[in-house]
Every structure is written in C-alpha cells, then in structure tokens.
Amino acid sequence: MNTQHSYLVDLKCSGCGKIYSANEIHTFCPDCQSTLIVQYDLDSIRSHIDRDEITRRPKGMWRWHEVLPVVDKQNQITLGEGDCALLSLNNLSKTLGLTNLYVKEESSNPTGSFKARGLSAAVSKAKELGVKKVIIPTAGNAGGAMASYAARAGMQAMIYMPKDTPKANIEESRIAGAEVILIDGLISDAAGMAGVKAREEGWFDVSTFKEPYRAEGKKIMGYELAESFGWELPDVIIYPTGGGTGLVGMWKAFQELENLGWLNKTKRPRMVSVQATGCAPIPLAFQKKAMFCDFWTGAHTIASGLRVPKSFADQLILKCLYESNGTAIAVEDEALMQAQQELAKAEGIFAAPEGAATLAALKDLINQKWIHPDEKIVLFNTGSGLKYLDHTG
C-alpha cells in the first residue's frame, strides 16, 4: 500500500477561491487579502488510513500527520504538544445542574497554552519551505510559543508585543533567544509594525491567519475531541476567541472528519465564541447578523488573548457561528475572574482568564436556556493561570 506522511495538496483562498502551491512560501491571498485554506487528498486518506491506526500511535499532535502540512517527517518540530486531557467536570456539573460537562485542558501544552499547537505546525512548515527567520505580533502566548519552536528549529525569531503583555510571555520569549519589541499599543498596532518589518527585512510573518498553517495545528483539537467521544462530536463547544484559529480550525476538522468517513454520527456541535465585554467585536457582529466585524476601539480586558480588536479572519469565525447554529457572548472581567476562582476551587484547575471566560459564558447560556442540561458541553481552557500571575495581584 502506497501511503504518504502528509496528503497535503494545495492552498485555496477563502475569499476568491484561487489555488496556490503548497510547495512555495505563501502568506495570504495577494489578490483579495483573505486567508488561505490548506487542502488535503482526503479521498486517498479515506482509502489508505484506518482511524484506529492513528489511535494506536504514540501520543501527540503529530500522530495525525496525514492531515498536517509537513511532507518530510524530519521537518516536524515538536515539544510534545497535543493530546491534552479531556476532563469531566463532575463537581461543577452538580452545581450547575448539568450532566455532561467537560473541559479540554490545553494548559498542559508546551509553553503553557494551546498556542503551541499552531506554532508547532507553522514553524515546522516554515522550516520545510526554507524559512530562516520568523516574526510575529502577539497578545502574549503566541510569542512564547513561536520563540520556543523557532529555537528548536534553529531559526531567528522577532516578536512585537503590547508593553502590558503578561511578564511570563515576555520572559519566555527572551530566554528562548527571540528579539522582543514592546510597543505602546494593541496587538493590531503590533501587527502593523511586524508587517512593515517583515516586508523590509524579509522576515516570514506568522500572524494569525496571515499564514495558512497555524490553524492546521489547532484543528487537531477537533480530531482529538471526536476520538475521545468515540468518533462522535459534542453538542456544544465553548471557545474563548481572539484571532479564532481554534474555532475555525476545529470547524474545518469536523468537515474533514466527515469527508474521511471517520465519524459514527455526523451531527456537528453548536460553536460558541466567548469574548470579554471590553473587547467584543465578534458578539457585536453576531448580534447584527453581520458577515464581518468592525474594529473595536479602546479594547481592554485582563484576558490578554482576547484583546484582539478585529481578527484577520473575522468572516470565517462568523461563518462558523452561523453555520453551526452557535452564538457569541461577551463576559465581564469580574465574571471571568470569579469563574477562574470557581474552576480552581471546585475542580483543581487553575485556568487562564481566557479559559475561565468559557465558564462565565456557560452560566449565561444556562440562564438564557440556550443550553439543555443534558447536552454534552466542552469548555476550552486554553492556557495556564500561572502565566498571568503578575496581572492578578
């Protein structure tokens, strides 16, 4: 049987549909400024690969290599990301009157957040395409993750961060050898500066959705969920949304899983996007049934990963919410900080403020009766509370 490491085919523009080669370096579509979507030969995988074979492989994100973009295994840069626990929240379930509540505990990833998944994929593919230096604007965790994977890949790294980014993010980037530039502004300002630097000096920009592969790493969370639930999907996924790579990535994974014939039931989850009331472009656009977001001015929230005034892929995020019959919800900083305490006291999980926001949102959704008590619900704790200690004092 003729099997390949990856069944990568090409890149397709999410805006105009134009096809780009996956053997060359691409960022986003130069014609229409939209995100490029990675395509695989799913029919071949379907006839060559058994889902149970993947379950038997050693743990980690890269056991799904057929649906990841790295063609030569030697280019895989891994620090042991993926296969984070799916925990049932029995104590909180009782308090909230639910029967099927889970958390995907992404804080056990290298560098303490799920950004590791995306940057493992992006840095690996960049290495495969001959990139020597990578640059990123970040609200925090993506910087630390990029610096770590770049160090392991032997690449130069440059990072633009708002100066009020949690200290852990700044230090973890510096210690891995990245050049860190602290700016007086938001991630959107950082993105502008990194973009200019990239063009002037030939750095490869791995900004969220401005390169095709970070979402591919994050989509594996969707594959893991399907496998954990016996090749079925949960009813509701509650996801703290900044740039939206995980949300859009998982939605893509569910389509791929259907096309691969790996799901026992094809019923899709309702996707919930959670943001903070101090920066809520997605809930606002969702309320207006809009297809894109307006730039959110004066963004502020303690959950630095959610401090994204407008995602480059706002249209893809909103499309996923509409297609899934999902919703978008904004929570106050006080509510997410209280939820952080509750998660730790009831379940022993010290979540990042972003992750805790999903519990605060869940409570609102229960009050609105948007959620049925017996539904299978998955919260995403996207990072460790330990990375934010200088902000909570």
Return the one option of Zn ion, ligand PLP, none that residue 85 interacts with (CB less than 5 to 8 A, by type): none
Q: Which is nearer to ligand PLP, 140 or 195 (CB)?
A: 140
**What's the CA angle centered on 339, arms 336 and 344, to 5 degrees?**
130
- Kindly tell me which of 141 and 340 has the beta carbon lying closer to ligand PLP: 141
Determine, following the binding rule CB under 5 A, whether residue 13 of this chain makes contact with Zn ion. Answer: yes
Q: Which residues of the shown chain bind ligand PLP in the complex (CB under 6 A)? A: 113, 115, 141, 208, 240-246, 305, 352, 354, 382-383
Binding of residue 19 to Zn ion (CB under 5 A): no
Shortest Cβ distance from residue 6 to Zn ion (Å)?
A: 24
- For residue 16, state whether it binds Zn ion (rule: CB under 5 A): yes
- Nearer Cβ to ligand PLP (35/208): 208
Minimum separation from the CB atom of position 371 to ligand PLP (A): 21
| Total interface residues for Zn ion by CB under 5 A | 7
Strand order in the sheet with 204-205: 179-183, 156-162, 133-137, 204-205
Span 20-39, contacts to Zn ion by CB under 5 A: 29, 31-32, 34
Residue 283 near which of Zn ion, ligand PLP, none (CB within 5-8 Å, type-dependent): none
244 binds, among ligand PLP, Zn ion, none (CB under 5 to 8 A by kind): ligand PLP
In angstroms, what is the minimal distance from the CB of 387 to ligand PLP?
Answer: 8
Cβ(229)–Cβ(376) below 8 Å: yes
Nearer to Zn ion, 17 or 177 (CB): 17
Q: Which is nearer to ligand PLP, 212 or 260 (CB)?
A: 212
Nearer to ligand PLP, 245 or 301 (CB): 245
Strand partners, 382: none
Compute the least distance from the CB of residue 269 to Zn ion, in Å. 29
The residue among 14 and 208 lying less far from ligand PLP, judged by its C-beta, is: 208
* Rounded Cα–Cα distance for residues 281 and 294 (Å): 7
**Among the residue ranges 6-14, 48-56, 104-112, 289-297, the one whose residues contact Zn ion (CB under 5 A):** 6-14
Task: Name the binder of 15 from Zn ion, ligand PLP, none, CB < 5-8 A by kind.
Answer: Zn ion
| Binding-site partner at residue 13 among ligand PLP, Zn ion, none, CB < 5 to 8 Å by type | Zn ion
User: Do residues 113 and 106 lie in contact, with contact meaning Cβ atoms separated by under 8 Å?
Assistant: yes
User: Closer to ligand PLP at the Cβ: 45 or 383?
Assistant: 383
| Site residues for Zn ion per CB under 5 A | 13, 15-16, 29, 31-32, 34
